[in-house]
A = this chain, B = another copy of it.
């Protein structure tokens, strides 16, 4: 099942730099592992924002929440979720 997710990151300016670096490195590793597994189906940067637009392909809302809340930057992100389904004008299922 597909979910459209927008994540906007707000790191507090007084977060120690090494802690921030560790968070970002772990975040990147998890994001790449999830992409390789096929669960994080699309990941794009929004130009000019510390934000991404993503599409997840998961078994349901429970797995989606487990993934998102497990991201190291989760406490610093504003997240919007939309459930997606196949569009009647789509020529392919595109995962939906």
B68 touches A85 (CB 8 A): no
Query: Given A36-B91, A83-B81, A90-B35, are A48 and B60 neighbors across the interface (CB < 8 Å)?
Result: no
Q: Which residues of A contact B (CB under 8 A)?
A: 1-5, 11-15, 27-28, 31-32, 35-36, 42-50, 52-53, 55, 60-62, 64-65, 68-69, 74-76, 79-92, 94, 96
The 10 A-B residue pairs with the shortest CB-CB distance in the complex, in nearest-first order: A61-B83, A47-B61, A48-B81, A62-B85, A47-B83, A44-B84, A45-B87, A61-B85, A31-B89, A47-B65
B75 touches A13 (CB 8 A): yes
Residues on B with C-beta less than 8 A from A76 are: 13
